[in-house]
A and B are shown apart, each in its own frame.
Chain A
Amino acid sequence: MKLLVPIKWVVDYQLRVRVREDGSGVDASGLKMSMNPFDEIALEEAVRLRESGIARELVVVSCGTAASQETLRTALAMGADRAVLIETDVLLQPLAVAKLLKTLAQRELPQLVIMGKQAIDDDANQTAQMLAAMLGWPQATFASKLQVTGTTAIVSREIDGGLETLELSLPAVVSADLRLNTPRYASLPNVMKARRAPIECLPAAGLGVDLQPRLTTVRVSAPQPRPAGVRVDSVEALAARLREALGMGGEA
């Protein structure tokens, strides 16, 4: 079976972006970029399916500028067989990304698309569900366990009250949550090899997809900082303040 793993290149999770002074957007210039952590988990899961022999090919794709090739090289070093860049300078929103991925899925015909449940920049949590709808495929979001047989995927999902298990007919789309696995580090020889690997570049403009953003950013701002707190120096003092806040009265 063939697997497709879409990957987004985002500002590294440990870094904090700045809001531009005029409120027009965020300033991420000069910040280190990394593979979206949820996509890294999705990729690891796919690599494991590839290594176990359940999958025979693993294709990774990223949508964005030529610079996104860097994250595709990381994916190749982690174990992907082939990488595709759908290239555009347009700032893509999830609906457009899902449409681009749909065109690639229709060309590649994977049995399973595994992708991160959300990107840590826009925090939208939309693209996997949108892609599944556009393809008319079933979806299992927020996966914490994935078991693939010949024709189905059995997926445990993290939901608000606990866990839920679904069986999906393949082809299907699965979105990865944090506890699906712990991604590996690519080995140095694989990183070196991936540097020379070919990456297929598809201009997004040629795919007949409407890429224009549907949502307009009016402004961005930093959240109100919380007023400075106080340190108390004893459990008694803390308990007194808490009793007050809880409306428990002041008696000791």
Chain B
Amino acid sequence: MMELKYSEILKLNKELMPAPDSAIYNVSILSNITVSAAKDIIEYSLRAEGINACVSVGDYDNIVQDSEKYNGSNLVIVFFELANITDGLHYRADLMDSEAITGILEKTKSEIALIFRNLKKTSLVVFNTFSAMHFCSSSIVNCNLSALASGLNAYLSSVLPVNVKLIDLDKVLCRVGVRNALDLRYYYLSKALYSIEFYKAYADFVRPIILSANGKTRKCIIFDCDNTLWKGILGEDGFDNIELSPGTAYGSIFAEVQGIALALNKRGILIGICSKNNPGDVDAVIKNHPDMQLRDEHITIRKINWSDKVTNLREIAAELNIGLDSLVFVDDSSFEANLVREHLPEVAVLQVPGRLQDYPGILRDNMGLFYNLSSSVEDKLKANMYNINVKRENAKSDFLTIEDYLASLKLKLTLYEDDSSIIPRISQMSQKTNQFNLTTIRYTENDINAFIADGNSKVYAYSVSDKFGDSGITGLCIININRESGTADINTFLMSCRIIGRNIEYAFMDYLINAVRNLGGRTVTAKYIKTPKNDQVGNFYDRCSFALTDSNEKNKTYVLAIDDYKPHNLTYIEIVNGRTN
């Protein structure tokens, strides 16, 4: 983004204009300054990632009124600029007594409260923190503007609703430098404060949040070994001569890189290794090298062989059951990096820079790739669960039939019905599940809350455990029920890929149909919406005795008369009720 010129962005953005009949992701920008230059930059930064964004800019200095007018947008971005809360506040603040400052603080707080209330139903809101950096960054004493910024930021974090994400404006200003971030000619002319450079950097801060809300988050980072996890070539320099100890200059760079990888792993990001080496040599370093931080328990998958990286990365995605667009690949070789860029454009490729001192910074600058809108306890456990999964795969081969194997697992589903304590995880599943997902509709925490509150909707989630461990909350169904007409409609049916292949979906469907029957339902309608990733469930409803009512390239619709349902009656899956609210 930073490397593109504004005129290039304008041109590329026009080329990516969504087709008239495509689904649009509506973004509104509300502001008390002129922000028209943000439109094309934010649109392009999202369209380039496959999101059909259309940005509309609200009226100048009309945030409160516009927050009511635009609350139906998929995303609302709010630029509430401190300097222009009242005309000329950036210099007038220091002429005011403390009473007048308190007056402005209180007025602004109540406006923020009103804005949040008006945007309560909006799926996602991005709000910038208040900053005095624009006009006070060179001042040694604290000015009134800084005091106002701290007061307002403290208020923001104390009242922040779940659907609002803050962008730290100081960080954006820091990225481009205050001087480069402002174009004061247009501020005095037309209250347009920010430069094009600022908006390009700003788009980089906002994009990960939006990608996450649209289920586009990276889940796994794959490292090459030589000159990527350590300095040197293991096969030539040998075990004792590769550098990764914080005691040497190069070593401390690679120690930091491994530390960054470990921190990602702690947040639930999977770590893989893909290297052209002798497997035994690399295994020995992972197991025994005193300075190695990434050990067996952190590394979910490894491909140490002499085949090409494209084949290896394809296999990694297949074995982990995640999409190629969930992978980040790090390598020092331009050859390998470009090969992967060319053949697997879905994979995000980071190349170790020639100036090694910049290497940790490049990883840090790209942490947005892993940004996760709702971080939950599940994630922290997840990396560990994948490791248990590998154990399960190994256990599989000892059994004659898959049914025997499944029966030996002692599978147990724990069901949660309309349980508001797991809203973050439910929303996260809707955002991140791509493969076993019949409709792929993304929901924010606010949306899920609304389903739970609605008496005509039921939200069923479940966790799965077996003798190897607990996979956590990994399945979801949202059903709308009309008790008067006796009809129900399955709005969402999804399952994490971690638990695919255990027939859990059929046991769950048995349970659901029974639940709908008990609520007075006689027919159930359902829909399969095709995406590039959910082919595997294209015939799921056919396998659950639903009758196809309509089918085209994009959708299939189904109906089921409850009396016609043929239960699967899987005796080896136990279903119990979790806590219910």
Q: Do A and B bind each other?
A: no
Interfacial residues, chain A to chain B (CB-CB below 8 A) = none
